[in-house]
Amino acid sequence: MRIDVAFLPSAVRGLDLSRTTCIVVDVFRATTSIVTAMANGCKCVTPVLSVNDARLLAREKTGALLAGERQSIKIEGFDLGNSPFDFAEASVRGQEVIMTTTNGTAAIKATAGAARTLIGSFANAGAVCHTARQCGQDVLIVCAGTDGLFSLEDALCAGCLTETLHREALPAALLTDAASGALLMYGQAKASLAAIGAAGRNGSRLQALGRKEDIEYCLRTDLFTIVPEYKDGIIT
């Protein structure tokens, strides 16, 4: 097994992913919210790139909920934002959700050619690594980043996943330099993960918006054993 990390979705452009299992990570907050939604009984999530695409699709899917954000702020007229607390069981059980976010949904769709695309986060770290290892393929962890730039919390999550995958797959696992770098970052940060994650650009922005509880939630590990998967344009 080869374990690699793409710190931005643009790094996977042009790659042959047909024999690769991808794990997409957008810690603050898309993939954490998707994992939470699925754990709370959401029927499916359809990721789309634009606000207009989301609204057009909602017209075709009667009763579907619209969810999403731009620059961490809920989109006007949408049912849900991008906080994991928006995806409580009372709101999403049995529901279809159409989601568009600034970074996360684009990262998910960038892996469309992969053998499998799994949705990862700190919240389901152990479970998503277990599933990826069982696929028996190389693993590429794809970080959503922020506005085309490196994102600290995503890189730390990639390091967490790399650590778990490497431990479970030894001696067969081979780490790329990117995976080794993520692993080193996480190793240095994990004892103070909440403080370090909150100090990054996205963490600072969420704190300024009064979303400290989102930060704390998104940096908690192994809350769930569910592993959502993106296939044929839909996450189930």
- DSSP 8-state class, residue 115: S
Q: How far apart are CA 47 and CA 55, in angstroms?
A: 12
What pLDDT tens digit does each residue of the chain (236 aa) get? 999 999 999 999 999 999 999 999 999 999 999 999 999 999 999 999 999 999 999 999 999 999 999 999 999 999 999 999 999 999 999 999 999 999 999 999 999 999 999 999 999 999 999 999 999 999 999 999 999 999 999 999 999 999 999 987 767 789 999 999 999 999 999 999 999 999 999 999 999 999 999 999 999 999 999 999 999 999 99
Q: How far apart are CA 129 and CA 51, in angstroms?
A: 32
Phi/psi of residue 26, nearest 5 degrees: -140, 85
Q: What's the pLDDT score for residue 164?
A: 96
Q: Using an 8 Å Cβ cutoff, are 48 and 234 in contact? A: no
Closest C-alpha among 1, 25, 9, 14 to residue 156: 25
Domain boundaries, position 92:
2-235
Q: What's the pLDDT score for residue 173?
A: 86
Q: In Å, how far from its chain's centre is CA 145?
A: 10
Q: How far apart are CA 134 and CA 26, in angstroms?
A: 23
Helix (H, G, I), strand (E, B) or coil at 98: strand
Q: CA angle, corner 32, sides to 27 and 34, nearest 5?
A: 135
Helix (H, G, I), strand (E, B) or coil at 119: strand
Closest C-alpha among 115, 93, 87, 89 to residue 31: 87
Q: Using an 8 Å Cβ cutoff, are 111 and 25 in contact? A: no
Helices in the chain by DSSP H: which ranges? 30-39, 51-60, 89-92, 104-109, 125-135, 152-169, 177-189, 193-199, 201-208, 212-218
Peptide bond before 171: cis, by omega within 30 degrees of 0? yes
Q: How far apart are CA 97 and CA 62, in angstroms?
A: 11
pTM for this structure? 0.97
Residue type, 174: L
When divided into structural domains, the chain yields a total of 1
- Report the CATH number at residue 107: 3.90.1560.10
Q: What's the pLDDT score for residue 189?
A: 97
Q: What's the pLDDT score for residue 172?
A: 75
Q: What's the pLDDT score for residue 211?
A: 96
Q: How far apart are CA 125 and CA 101, in angstroms?
A: 21
Q: How many residues does the chain have?
A: 236
Q: What's the pLDDT score for residue 134?
A: 95
Q: What's the pLDDT score for residue 228?
A: 98
210: tokens are: 């009064």
